[in-house]
């Protein structure tokens, strides 16, 4: 297993658990975190023994944002020329599912990173926010777009304009997180959920992720058409024959990933 500077990576059966590990900066996302996460998630995607990942932080902070100290001295020319933050697009290209397990602060880039994952499980201690306006800037890793799609314009606009944080209960009510779990059970519950996903037929997992994501990129008719075509495609797999035979024969299916 590769070693990284800013994250810890371990495999628990078919689940890759990635833990952000910059406690001195509340897991603020600097360029090294980006480099480490891209490498770790590329390795996860390429490893056929791994079916789902969990991305988590510490009890105090999932991540308190992009690293303000790293950005502080940057000007427009450097930011624009380097297309600062564009590298995060690579994280969203991870093909297998990634669950964000969020305890404590998920602020700015931390909230945006959680929203780049496929769904968020929140500890009852989780706090979400886009406080960049207080620094006289704005979200830059997709927050204004993903938060608005997740919770609607009213809450997203209020949060971006005031920097107000949302607690776990409000985040669940608003559709930002799938479920709330007690903080001390968060990682265990996320790994359990990921284990359930990792046990599914691998091609069906990829197809389900792709089609739900298509809902963000397309209109309804195109999205439904995309879903139907992927659904048809799954009928070309060995695992579909096995899955349906297993149901009829009242036994568990075993998957080949073909
Ligand atoms: N960047 C760099 N360092 C950070 C950081 C960040 N985003 N957030 C916290 N830290 C550092 C602090 O500077 C501090 O370091 P020192 O001990 O060296 O002073 C350490 O982490 C602990 O933080 P605090 O002492 O502030 O802890 P606290 O418990 O008093 O407060 C907090 C916690 C409310 C989360 C507070 O740290 C905070 O407000 N952090 C910044 C949140 C923020 O503005 N995030 C948005 C960043 S911009 C962005 O993300 C742009 C984008 O769109 C991607």
Closest listed residue to residue 58, CA positions, set 88, 21, 31, 33: 21
Q: How far is CA 78 from the centre of its chain?
A: 28
pLDDT of 85 strictly over 90: yes
Question: Which of the four pLDDT bands, split at 50, 70 and 90, describes residue 32?
Answer: very high
pLDDT confidence of residue 2: 86
Mean pLDDT of the region 95-110: 98
Mutate which of 63, 65, 131 to test ligand 1's pocket (most atoms within 8 Å of Cβ)? 65
Q: How far is the CA of 63 from the centre of ligand 1 (A)?
A: 9
Q: Does pLDDT of 111 surpass 80? A: yes
CB 64, CB 108: distance < 8 Å: yes
Report the chain's mean pLDDT, rounded to a whole number.
98
The alpha carbon of 27 and the centre of ligand 1 are apart by a number of angstroms equal to 9
Q: Does residue 199 surpass a pLDDT of 80?
A: yes
Encode 222-243: b = buried (16+ Cβ within 10 Å), e = exposed. Answer: ebeebbeebeeebeebebbebb
Q: In this predicted complex, what is the ipTM?
A: 0.98
- Alpha-carbon separation of residue 37 from 119, 205, 247 (angstroms): 17, 22, 38
Point out the ligand 1 atom lying closest to the alpha carbon of residue 135: 44
| CA 18–ligand 1 middle distance (angstroms) | 21
Protein residue closest via CA to atom 53 of ligand 1: 139
Q: What is the pLDDT of residue 15?
A: 98
Residue 142 Cβ contacting ligand 1 at under 6 Å: no
Cβ pair 82, 41 in contact under 8 A: no
Which of 31, 34, 58, 68 for mutating ligand 1's site (highest number of atoms within 8 Å of CB)? 68
What's this model's pTM, rounded to 2 decimal places? 0.97
Q: Is 63 in the pocket of ligand 1 (CB under 6 A)?
A: no
* Tokens 């971006």 sit on residue: 160
C-alpha distances out from residue 168 to 103, 122, 123, 174, Å: 9, 6, 7, 10
Quote the tokens at residue 46. 């390429």
Phi and psi angles of residue 197, each rounded to the nearest 5 degrees, phi first: -65, -40
Catalytic residues: 66, 109, 112, 132
What is the mean pLDDT of the segment spanning 215-220?
94
Is the distance from CB of 163 to CB of 130 less than 8 angstroms? yes
Share of the chain above pLDDT 70, in %: 100
pLDDT at residue number 27: 98
- pLDDT score, position 124: 98
pLDDT at position 209, please? Answer: 98
Q: Which pLDDT score, from 0 to 100, does residue 1 have?
A: 76
pLDDT score of 197 more than 90: yes
Give Dmax over CA atoms of the chain in angstroms.
Answer: 65
Q: In the numeric block, which tokens belong to residue 108?
A: 């700015």
- Smallest CA-to-CA distance from 6 within 26, 25, 20 is with 20
Q: In the prediction, which pLDDT does 202 show?
A: 98
- What SS3 class is residue 8? strand
């Amino acid at each position: 297993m590769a070693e990284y500077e800013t994250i810890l990576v371990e495999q628990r059966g078919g689940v890759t658990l990635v833990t952000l590990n910059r406690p001195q900066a509340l897991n603020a996302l600097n360029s090294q975190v980006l480099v480490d996460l891209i490498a770790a998630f590329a390795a996860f995607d390429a490893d056929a023994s791994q079916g789902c990942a969990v991305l988590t932080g510490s009890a105090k902070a999932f991540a308190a944002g992009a690293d303000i100290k790293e950005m502080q001295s940057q000007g427009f020319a450097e930011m624009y020329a380097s297309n600062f933050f564009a590298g995060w697009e690579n994280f969203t290209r991870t093909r297998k599912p990634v669950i964000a397990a969020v305890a404590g602060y998920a602020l700015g880039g931390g909230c945006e990173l959680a929203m780049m994952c496929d769904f968020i499980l929140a500890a009852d201690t989780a706090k979400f926010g886009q406080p960049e306006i207080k620094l006289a800037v704005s979200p830059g890793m997709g927050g204004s777009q993903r938060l608005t799609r997740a919770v609607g314009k009213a809450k997203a606009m209020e949060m971006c304009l005031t920097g107000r944080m949302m607690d776990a209960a409000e985040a669940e009510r608003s559709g930002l997180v799938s479920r709330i779990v007690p903080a001390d059970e968060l990682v265990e519950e996320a790994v359990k959920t990921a284990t359930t996903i990792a046990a599914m037929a691998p091609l069906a997992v990829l197809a389900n992720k792709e089609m739900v994501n298509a809902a963000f990129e397309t209109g309804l008719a195109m999205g439904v058409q995309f879903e139907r075509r992927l659904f048809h495609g799954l009928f070309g797999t060995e695992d579909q024959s096995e899955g349906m035979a297993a149901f009829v024969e009242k036994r568990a299916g075993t998957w080949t990933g073909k």
